[in-house]
Amino acid sequence: MPLVRIDVQEGRTPEQLRELADAVQDVMLETFAAPPRDRYQVITEHPRGRIIAEDTGLGLERTDGVVVIQVTQQGRNQDQKRAMYAAMAKQLQERAGLDPSDLIISVVENTRDDWSFGLGRAQFVEGDL
C-alpha cells in the first residue's frame, strides 16, 4: 500500500502509460519504502479539456501533457513526502518526458482500518499484514 491514482489526458500510447506507471512505482519503492509487489495503481485517461489544472498563482505553464497523481497512504512523514515529490518529478521527466510543470501530486492520509485488500476482510486490523 499506497494506492496511486494517475490521471492523464488521452494521447499517450500503452507503452508510454506503462513507463509512467513503472516510474511512479519505482519512486514508491525508493522513497515510501513500499514492499515489493505492493503495487496498486489506477490509470485514468480523460478526453482533452477534462483536466483543468491552473497554476495556483505560481507562474507555471501547463500543457495537455499534465499528469495528476493522488497517493493514498499512511505513515509517511514530511521528509518522505518531499523526497517523493522531488523523485517523482525527476523520474517522470527522465523516463516519460514529463515536464515537471505538468506534474501535480496530492497525498491523502488514512489509517490501517481504512484498507481491505480482498475477501471482505480488514487485513491490517486482523493481523494478516
Sorted by where each begins, the domain ranges of the chain are 2-109
8 within 8 A of 20, measured Cβ to Cβ: yes
Pairing of strands 3-9, 67-73: antiparallel
List, for residues 107-128, the tens digit of each pLDDT value.
Answer: 999 998 998 999 999 998 998 9
Tens-digit pLDDT profile for residues 75-98: 899 999 999 999 999 999 999 999
CATH topology for 2-109 is Macrophage Migration Inhibitory Factor (3.30.429)
The residues that are catalytic are: 2
Q: Is the pLDDT of residue 16 over 90?
A: yes
